[in-house]
Amino acid sequence: MIRDTVSAKRPTDSRGSSAVPTSIDPAKFQRMDQPTAVCGTGDFNVVFIGAGNVMFGSDEGPWNHSLRFEQKLGTRLKVVAVIDPAIERAEIVLKAKCGSSVAPAYQNSRIFESLDEYIKNKSEVDQPRAFVIGSPPMFRGSVHPGRDVELQILKHFPGVAVFCEKPIATGPKDEITELFAVAKQVKDSGVVFSVGYMLRYLKAVQMMKRILEENNVTVMCTVARYACAYESIAKPEWWDKSLSNGPIIEQGTHFCDLSRYFGGEVDISTVAANSLEWNETAGHLSKLRIDESKIAPENRISRVTSANWKYESGAVGSLTHTVALQGVNYSCELEVFADGYQLKLVNPYVEPILYVRRPGDDFDETHQFEGDDPFFTEVSNWIDIVEDIEHDPKAPLILSSFTDACKTYEFTWAIREASERSLQNRKKSSAVDKTTS
Ligand SMILES: NC(=O)c1ccc[n+]([C@@H]2O[C@H](COP(=O)([O-])OP(=O)(O)OC[C@H]3O[C@@H](n4cnc5c(N)ncnc54)[C@H](O)[C@@H]3O)[C@@H](O)[C@H]2O)c1
C-alpha cells in the first residue's frame, strides 16, 4: 500500500502555518482505555525492530508500543518477527507475551539478531504489512551499512509501511546532508512512514492547533520548558554524548519538535544557547543511578541547556531543558503566544492540562483530557492510514513525516552546537582574563 508520507489528500508539509491544515479533529481520537473497534480484516503482520523499553515497556515511562498495537488490532495482530541482537531480551519479552491473554499475536513470532538475518530467512507466507523501528537511533538515518535500516526496508520490502521512533538519527553532525538524502528516498518511495513524535498527537496539542487555525492568528512566540526526572533514567548510554548525542538531541527533541509544529521552520542561523555543565558547581547531581565516572569527561551531558531562536516567520522561540528533577514524573510546559492568545500546555507526559487565554478575557479557560494517550493515537492513526480506512477528506494524517523529523533533528543539533560554542567562548575569555590579570 503506497501513500504520500504526510497525507495523500493534504499539502505535503507541516510547517505550522495556518495555510496548511496540520491538525486532526480531537473528537475523532479513539481512547486507549475504552474498547477499540477493530477495523480492517485479516492478519496484520508486523515486524518489531528492537525489543527494548519503547517496544515492550519499562518503569521509565508510559511508552510501550506492543501494548498499543494489541489494543488497536486485537486478534488481527501477528508479530511475525522481533529483531534484536540481544536475543535473550527478545526471548524474555516474547515468553511473557505468550503466557498472557495476547499470546495469539506472538506465538509464531520468530527472533532474529539483525535485519539481514530476517531478510535471509523470512517466510513467504508471513509478509510484513508494517515495520516498527524501536532500536537505538545510531542504527538508522544514514546511508552506511548497519546504520541504514530504513533504506534496507525500502529496498527489500517496497511499499511496506514504517513507524520509526525519534530521533530519526544519531550520527556526526556532518551526516545531516546524507540524512536529508535518505528522507528524499523515503518520500519518493511514497511509503507510509511515521515518526514517533507522539506529543503532536495529544488532544491538547490538536486543540491548540485548532484554536490558532480557526481564529486565523499567527504564532508570535513559543516558550518551552522541559525538566526530566533524571533519577529515573538508568541507561548509561543516555548519559554519554558520544552514544546518544546528549539530552537535547535525544530527549529535548520532543519539545523542539513541538515548538516547530507551532512556530514553523526555524532560521537555523539564529540559534543561540548556553549550558550548565556537569563539572560546574551548580551542575552537581546527587541521585544519579548510573556511574558517571565510567563516561569520559568530554562525553558527559549538560545539566541545563537554554536556547533561543527566530522562526522563519519572524516569531521567536525558546527552550530550557533541565536534568535536575528526581523521582519519576517529568515537568514540562509549552506556551504559545499569538495576538490575543496564550495557549499553555502543562504536564503533557502525565496528565495534560491546557490553559487558554483568549481576546476579551483576562482569565484562563482550563481544559483537561482524561484518558488521552498520544502513544495510542499515533499508532492508531498510522494503522488507519496504512489500511486506508478513512475516506474522509479530513482524515487523520501523519503529523510527523521523515522529512519533518529530519528538520527537528537538524534543529536540535544547532542547539547543541550553539551551547558548545558558547562554552568554548567562555573558556577562551576566562583564559584571556587570567593571562591579563
Ligand atoms: N517517543 C518516546 O517517548 C520514546 C520513549 C522511549 C524511547 N524512545 C526511542 O526509542 C528508541 C529505543 O529506545 P528504548 O528506550 O527502547 O531503548 P532500549 O535500549 O530499551 O531498547 C533498544 C533495543 O534495541 C536493541 N538493538 C540494538 N541494536 C539494534 C539493531 N541494530 N537492530 C535491532 N535492535 C537493536 C537493543 O538490544 C535493545 O534491546 C530510541 O530512539 C528512543 O529515543 C522514544
What are the pLDDT digits (tens) for 254-288?
999 999 999 999 999 999 999 999 999 999 999 99
Q: Which of 193, 199, 191 is nearest to 224 (CA)?
A: 199
- Our answer on whether the CB atom of 51 is closer than 6 Å to any ligand 1 atom is yes
- Quote the pLDDT of residue 395: 64
Beta strands 304-310 and 193-195 are unpaired
- Quote the pLDDT of residue 29: 66
- Quote the pLDDT of residue 32: 56
Q: Which of 343, 354, 320 is nearest to 252 (CA)?
A: 320
The CA 316 to ligand 1 mean position distance, Å, reads 33
- Quote the pLDDT of residue 357: 98
d(CA 223, CA 206): 18
- Our answer on whether the CB atom of 139 is closer than 6 Å to any ligand 1 atom is yes
Structural domains in the chain, CATH included, are: 26-198 (3.40.50.720), 214-372+402-422 (3.30.360.10)
- Quote the pLDDT of residue 5: 33
Pocket test for ligand 1, best of 84, 116, 150 (most atoms within 8 A of CB): 84
Cell of 162: 514504517
- Quote the pLDDT of residue 28: 66
- Quote the pLDDT of residue 13: 37
The CA 135 to ligand 1 mean position distance, Å, reads 4
Atom index in ligand 1 nearest the CA of residue 237 equals 19
Cell of 328: 519519576
CB 207 within 8 A of CB 16: no
- Our answer on whether the CB atom of 165 is closer than 6 Å to any ligand 1 atom is yes
**pLDDT tens across 316-331, in order?**
999 999 999 999 999 9
Place of cell 537535547: 248
**Atom 28 in ligand 1: residue holding the nearest Cα:** 135
Task: Using 50 as the pLDDT threshold, list the residues of the chain that sit under it.
Answer: 1-21
Pocket test for ligand 1, best of 135, 139, 201, 248 (most atoms within 8 A of CB): 135
Atom index in ligand 1 nearest the CA of residue 139 equals 31
For helices 149-156 and 176-189, the axis angle rounded to 10 degrees is 20
Going by the DSSP 8-state scheme, the letter that residue 236 receives in this structure is: G
The CA-CA-CA angle for residues 179, 128, 138, to 5°, reads 30
d(CA 74, CA 316): 45
- Our answer on whether the CB atom of 135 is closer than 6 Å to any ligand 1 atom is yes
* pTM of the predicted model as reported, rounded to 2 decimal places: 0.91
The CA 419 to ligand 1 mean position distance, Å, reads 26
Place of cell 546528549: 246
- Quote the pLDDT of residue 396: 64
- Quote the pLDDT of residue 394: 61
**Atom 21 in ligand 1: residue holding the nearest Cα:** 52
Pocket test for ligand 1, best of 49, 53, 87 (most atoms within 8 A of CB): 53
